[in-house]
Amino acid sequence: MDVAEAGAIPATHAPSPAPVRGGGLLHVALVGNPNTGKSTLFNALTGMRQRVGNYSGVTVERVEGRYRDADGHPVSVLDLPGTYSLSASSPDEEIALSVLLGRAQGVARPDVVVVVADAQNLERNLFLASQVLELGLPTVIALNQVDAALAAGIRVDAIELTLELGAPVVATVATKGEGLELLKRAVAKAVGLPPAGRRFELEPEAARAVAPLEACLVRGGLNPDAAGMEALRLLAVTQIGPHLAHVEGLAAAVEAARAAVEAAGITARSLEAEARYGWIAGVVERTATQTHTGKKTLTDRIDAVALHRVWGPLLFIVLMALVFQSIFSWAAPLMDRVEALFNALGGAVGSILPPGDLRSLVVDGVIGGVGSVLVFLPQIVILFLFIGILEDTGYMARAAFIMDRFMRSVGLHGRSFIPLLSGYACAVPGVMSTRTIEAPKDRLATIMVLPLMSCSARIPIYTLLIGAFIPPVAVAGIFNLQGMTLLAMYLLGTLTALAMAAVFKKTLLKGRARPMIMELPPYRIPSPRSLAMSVGHRASLFLRRAGTVILSLTIVLWALATYPKSHAAPGTPPAAAQEEQLAHSLLGRMGHAIEPAVRPLGYDWKIGVGIVSSFAAREVFVATMGTIYGVGSADETTPALRDRLKAERHERTGLPVYTPLVAVGLMVFYVYAMMCMSTMAVVVRETGGGRKGMAWAGFQFAYMLALAYGAAFLVYRGGLALGFH
């Protein structure tokens, strides 16, 4: 569909230019239902790279960007979390409502609101739009995804819709950048326009019953339009919400209004929904046409398999297996090249610098430590490429649907799946995205188990150990054991997260499971640009982390492994002298002190030091191993870390330190252990902050460490008892 044809504001309907803007920055807020392409529109307007996905709940906090309009004026755009209504029943909806009412701390009330509405689901999207129109703010409707709507046989008359809503409607296709200039122009012209206000009339009895409540809200400082919207909303919700806490006598006024509405023979809870949807049905009938119906779309045909009770979960498992296998088979040649690059770099630097501490710092510490983490960049890229494809096609929403059955069986809300899914990338945004969960106990249970999902920081550890100790033998013809082992680690974390959630929901956080209502978006072909952005973003985060936190910790660890110096007796072989130096160093002494605690798991002091150092961040384990074996090696060449691990022998027995059993035990330890300062900080904040937040984060750390230690012990000791080694 041509955007101009679909809904550009014609000259006759365009609002007149705004006379005032205060000479400064124009503040625009983007609101809309989840998965309407709101963040895509935000990125297209501002040139930013805010995360987008073909499923709901991707944006959970407000994000700000800027653009310049046609006249060169700066415009600030605030991307608010997606919400179906302004009922403010979950933390992310609260954020949206507080911003729109000008009650969010440190955020100016927007000058213009852009409601992003999905043209394919006009009826549902207009519910939120009708609420926003009553807030007393100039509003523009961005009718997005008009191309997909047309493909589905839905044609929306944007001019007619403009007249119905009393606010300009601009058709857009955010993914293709269509309609953006018109939207920017409409935003610029909307400033100073009178607000649209309520577009429907309540039954006279209902209007009379609600009037005192509206008056109470006006006395509390709300403008009359917003008071009308809030009054209807308050009749339906159970909690008033923090943004209205300052209004005196509000609770009593709400109760009185409910009683008066009920006395008039109207159900108070459904008054708003019935009034709005009654009006919306008429608007949709007058403005939208459905040209063909009843025909099965491609999405319907794919979903017949993807959502099938038997085939659906099977397809999910097969897809995941293929993803994890490809991480090994595709990444191996790339990884070898990166490894060769670092070896060459180490050799070159080693030949330039004279022997001494500086050379050791650069070659053994920096290149050996950081380089051993950076070789896993190909795996990270491949994993996020697949995750991006699954998200952008819309399959992840189906995965959430399939998982909902399991989620409910353990007492978790279906909405918990998206935060848990985010945990595969990083637990921090996952914990933040639990804000979409309304029930506090469900939210807390989700936060408590979320770090059990294997994040990308575990990939270097898993792939290092699997690459070194799990043979690449074929499984069932098409899979290989290395990929299956990686899949097993991910499944172990996921299943344990569900099991722990069940435990929490039956003990500390009792409560019944709630059903999930989730929109299944149509399948789309992923945009290469969006995929490249998402993968590039993840790769740059990995590189930045390697170049900052990991680099710094590696340097500190190198110093601890190098000082104080030991003086080997003359004639001591270089390898023995290096080993003696390592044992004599601060790191060696610390390692030997903690060795008794890790020995039951089959680990030596070096692994113990790696575990302790990775409390800051998991990848530091690999960097620590790279540094320790770099410092401890008399070899001038730098063999791959996995070869060094294979060659490592116990000092006393001469037996290999790393066996497949130790490697599996160590991976299991990292599946469960909470080794991430950043996640702990976010858990403190999201569970209430202060002592309460610290207590929850402390509890989480303790139970996960106990789980990690216990599971690693069971794997090692159980394996030995069964004759494995």
Partner 1 sequence: MSGEMLQTLLVGLVVLAALFYVGRRAWRTVLAGRASRDGGGCGDDCGCGH
Task: Return residues touching partner 1 (CB under 8 A).
Answer: 51, 61-62, 91, 95, 104-106, 354, 356-358, 361, 425-429, 432, 435, 537-538, 541-542, 544-545, 548-549, 551-553, 555-556, 558-559, 616-617, 677-682, 684-686, 689-690, 693, 697
Where do we find the tokens 């499923």? 55
CB of 686 to partner 1, least distance (A): 7
C-alpha 21/C-alpha 191 separation (Å) is 7
CB of 156 to partner 1, least distance (A): 35
CB of 563 to partner 1, least distance (A): 9
Count of Cβ atoms closer than 10 Å to residue 151 Cβ: 14
Two tokens, residue 693: 């937040």
Return the number of the residue (179 or 365) whose C-beta is nearest partner 1.
365
Return the number of the residue (40 or 325) whose C-beta is nearest partner 1.
40
Question: Which spans in 394-527 are helix H?
Answer: 395-409, 417-422, 427-432, 440-449, 459-469, 481-506
CB of 231 to partner 1, least distance (A): 27
Return the number of the residue (237 or 694) whose C-beta is nearest partner 1.
694
Return the number of the residue (239 or 270) whose C-beta is nearest partner 1.
239
Residue 545's alpha-carbon distances to 370, 463, 549, 617, 675, in angstroms, are: 10, 18, 6, 10, 15
C-alpha 187/C-alpha 194 separation (Å) is 14
Residue 242's alpha-carbon distances to 89, 101, 122, 239, 408, in angstroms, are: 11, 12, 30, 9, 30
Which H/E stretch holds residue 255? helix 250-263
Give residue 195's identity as a one-letter amino acid code. P
Return the number of the residue (346 or 483) whose C-beta is nearest partner 1.
346
CB of 361 to partner 1, least distance (A): 5
C-alpha 87/C-alpha 702 separation (Å) is 37
Return the number of the residue (667 or 680) whose C-beta is nearest partner 1.
680
CB of 49 to partner 1, least distance (A): 10
Return the number of the residue (275 or 374) whose C-beta is nearest partner 1.
374
Backbone angles phi, psi at 288, to 5 degrees: -125, 145
CB of 444 to partner 1, least distance (A): 14
Which H/E stretch holds residue 30? strand 26-32
CB of 678 to partner 1, least distance (A): 4
Say whether 618 sits in a helix, a strand or coil.
coil
Q: 614 near 627, Cβ under 8 Å?
A: no
C-alpha 172/C-alpha 3 separation (Å) is 6
Of 133, 127, 78, nearest to 283 by C-alpha is: 127
Give residue 4's identity as a one-letter amino acid code. A
CB of 681 to partner 1, least distance (A): 4
Dihedral angle sign, alpha carbons of residues 627, 631, 632, 636: positive
Return the number of the residue (529 or 544) whose C-beta is nearest partner 1.
544
* Omega before residue 564 within 30° of 0, cis: yes
Return the number of the residue (14 or 539) whose C-beta is nearest partner 1.
539
CB of 65 to partner 1, least distance (A): 14
Dihedral angle sign, alpha carbons of residues 453, 455, 459, 462: negative
Return the number of the residue (339 or 619) whose C-beta is nearest partner 1.
619
Two tokens, residue 279: 């009006």
Return the number of the residue (441 or 545) whose C-beta is nearest partner 1.
545
Return the number of the residue (95 or 210) whose C-beta is nearest partner 1.
95
CB of 549 to partner 1, least distance (A): 6
Backbone angles phi, psi at 64, to 5 degrees: -115, 140
Helix axes 180-190 and 38-46, enclosed angle (nearest 10): 90
Return the number of the residue (128 or 682) whose C-beta is nearest partner 1.
682
Return the number of the residue (104 or 397) whose C-beta is nearest partner 1.
104
Count the helices and strands in the chain (H runs, E runs). Answer: 32, 10
Q: What is the CA radius of gyration of the chain?
A: 30
Strands, E assignment, 164-280: 169-172
Helix axes 224-236 and 250-263, enclosed angle (nearest 10): 70
CB of 519 to partner 1, least distance (A): 25
Of 478, 195, 451, nearest to 318 by C-alpha is: 478
CB of 58 to partner 1, least distance (A): 12
Return the number of the residue (100 or 432) whose C-beta is nearest partner 1.
432
Return the number of the residue (689 or 710) whose C-beta is nearest partner 1.
689
For residue 174, with 0-12 CB atoms within 10 Å meaning exposed, 13-18 middle and 19 or more buried, which class applies?
buried
627 HSE (CA, 13 A, CB side):
32
Return the number of the residue (455 or 645) whose C-beta is nearest partner 1.
455
Return the number of the residue (3 or 684) whose C-beta is nearest partner 1.
684
CB of 255 to partner 1, least distance (A): 29
Tell me which DSSP letter residue 364 carries.
I
C-alpha 325/C-alpha 338 separation (Å) is 20
CB of 684 to partner 1, least distance (A): 4
Of 538, 539, 627, 635, nearest to 587 by C-alpha is: 627
Of 319, 342, 313, 267, nearest to 479 by C-alpha is: 319
CB of 547 to partner 1, least distance (A): 10
Tell me which DSSP letter residue 455 carries.
-
Where do we find the tokens 């191993």? 625
CB of 567 to partner 1, least distance (A): 15
C-alpha 490/C-alpha 323 separation (Å) is 12
CB of 379 to partner 1, least distance (A): 16
